[in-house]
Amino acid sequence: MSELKEFIETITNIAAQGNVDDNINLARQTVKELNRFLYNTHDGIGTTYELDENRAYISDYHKYWHKHHKEILDLQIDESSCTLVADVLHDVFLRTNGEAFGYVYDRCGLSDEEVCHVRFLTANQDFRGSRNFAELAAIYKRNPDIFNLERISNDPQQFLNAINVSSLSQNDKRSTFAKSIANFVLSKNTTPYHLIELYNHDLIALKNDLINERGAGFKEKKANMFIRDMYVHGVWDNVTGFEQIDVPSDVNTMQVAMRTGIVKSAIPLLSSFMDMFSYQYNDVDKIVAKAWKRVWEIWCAHYPKEECLESPVLLDYFIYNTVGKEFCKNKLSLYECERGHHFSDHSPYKKNCPICEAESIAKRNALPRNQRGAIPILKTPCTHRNILPCTHPDGHIAIEHTDFYQKNLATPNFTECPFRELCDRNGKRSLQAPKSISIIGQTGWERAYATEESGGGGLMS
């Protein structure tokens, strides 16, 4: 009998005994069974290969989810949506002369070799609050020896302290990453900048070795980001394989993919608490990268070569940084003052009503509209005072205060997200990207195990 069917029958039998709400004993049985099914392991449950070794399943639910998550989610790439997104991105390309896709970060005056050295040794540290390139470049300029390969290999913790990431999350993982990637370069008797020469300028060969280097922290996303940076900044030229580098999937590119409809699932995505060992997250991560590649392929097939990008990875900056972090965020604030004036603003901290001020009326407090029980003009998925710009006629107020708008890259400039009409048609604007719980360390799954007899267990915050 499948784990899920057995659980359903057990709950059905408990419910048949009476009204759970009126009988605390039935409630106890129900809660106990829920906890057992979701979070308790037991003898004979079987094992799965996780964290580099065979481990007992966390629970019967974990065992079932592992075997059936793909068919339950049924993740698919939607070809028609990919075509519509490709058309939108082509329009963005024309209106910005390609500049919307070309910016990565300021090199801060570093040479090609220095940019490569700093970025290579820190790309695998780029998660959960890590430092931007300008901060790292400043540290390098003050003391280049901090980035010495032998020094990092011998004392990775001093390197983490020096670049100010040791106080961030998952420090045990960071130390392993720092030491392993330094040893990777040292073992080849070269430097990060000259690595590409050892691989005959083949980006895919280098990428695969980085991904396969155990403990180096260069999984698909980090490797793609690093290679993109080296190409866009012109650090490495005359390379092959760039057209095979995918968009580095993250929560922003995932969310835009689902809201525009290029990736669809049979059910809304599960909470990370239900996604044991991040099976859902990993599957979404992979299919989103494939979906953005498909968008790029359609774009290239439908338009002249000079109106396309050289690689799907070049979609990343616009999709991730502009749409994901600026246009597709709850950045429009709705207000109502004490005299009943309604207005919108890009700031969530507005204190006074500008309408009253313009009419030379005494200052009136501005309160978020939802706190006064008002209903936004258009339906939105947000219950907080900030809403998506694309869900309100005043959305342009928020868009006009984004970094992208302020750079004046587009002619004419964008006053709304270019995907607005597509998302209106798709009707999935409320979809959220999946979240992943770390599977290593104090807050990870390896500390979550609990048997039916012992109780307790679970994740730590």
Say how far apart CA 6 and CA 9 lie, in whole Å. Answer: 5
pLDDT at residue 45 in the model: 94
Does residue 433 form part of some domain?
no
Token reading at 246: 């995918």
Domain presence at residue 84: no
Are residues 65 and 140 both part of a single domain? no
Return the pLDDT at 411.
Answer: 93
In angstroms, the Cα distances linking 443 to 170, 323, 382 are 9, 31, 29
pLDDT of residue 186: 97
Q: What is the DSSP letter of 305?
A: G
pTM of the model: 0.89
CB 422: neighbour CB atoms within 10 A?
Answer: 18
pLDDT truncated to tens, each residue of the chain (461 aa)?
689 999 999 999 988 886 655 688 888 899 999 999 999 999 999 999 987 788 899 999 999 999 999 999 999 999 999 999 999 999 999 999 999 998 778 899 999 999 999 999 999 998 766 788 999 999 999 999 999 999 999 999 999 999 998 877 667 789 999 999 999 999 999 999 999 999 999 999 999 999 999 999 998 999 999 999 999 999 998 999 999 999 988 899 999 999 999 999 999 999 999 998 999 999 999 999 999 999 999 999 999 999 999 999 999 999 999 999 999 999 999 998 888 888 999 998 888 898 888 887 777 788 887 544 444 444 433 334 689 999 999 999 999 999 999 999 999 999 999 999 999 998 999 999 999 887 665 567 777 778 888 888 887 76
For residue 233, what are the β-bridge partners? none
Q: How many residues does the chain have?
A: 461
Find tokens 């799907």 and name the residue: 312
- Residue at 303 is within a domain: yes
Say yes or no: 129 and 49 in one domain: no
Question: Are 142 and 265 in a shared domain?
Answer: yes
**Residue 147 and residue 51 share a domain:** no
104 and 31 inside one domain: no
- The verdict on residue 141 lying in a domain is yes
pLDDT of 377 reads 42
The CA distance from 140 to 130, in Å, is 16
- The CA–CA distances, whole Å, from 374 to 341, 383, 391 equal 12, 12, 16
Q: What is the pLDDT of residue 61?
A: 96
Please state, in angstroms and rounded to a whole number, the distance separating the CA atoms of residues 12 and 77: 37
What local confidence, expressed as pLDDT, does residue 383 receive?
37
For residue 107, give its domain range: 99-315
**Distance in angstroms (rounded) separating the CA atoms of residues 241 and 200:** 11
Q: How many domains does the chain have?
A: 3
- Do 44 and 115 reside in the same domain of the chain? no
The DSSP result for 297-353, as a single string, is: HHHHHHS-GGGS-SSGGGGHIIIIIIIIIIITS--EEEEEETT--EEEES-TT--B-
Instruction: Find tokens 């999984």 and name the residue.
Output: 219
Residue 20, domain member (yes or no): yes
Is residue 428 situated within a structural domain?
A: no
Question: Among 73, 88, 113, which residue terminates a domain?
Answer: 73
pLDDT the model gives residue 367:
82
pLDDT value, residue 172: 73
Based on the domain organization, do 244 and 159 belong to the same domain? yes
Q: What is the DSSP letter of 232?
A: H
Residues 257 and 263 sit within 8 Å (Cβ to Cβ): yes
Do residues 119 and 183 share a domain? Answer: yes
Structure confidence at residue 391 (pLDDT): 93
Specify whether 250 is located in the same domain as 361. Answer: no
Both 152 and 281 in a single domain? yes
Do 301 and 338 belong together in one domain?
no
pLDDT of residue 441: 59
Statement to judge: residues 212 and 303 lie in one domain = yes
pLDDT of residue 371: 43
Q: Please state, in angstroms and rounded to a whole number, the distance separating the CA atoms of residues 332 and 396.
A: 9
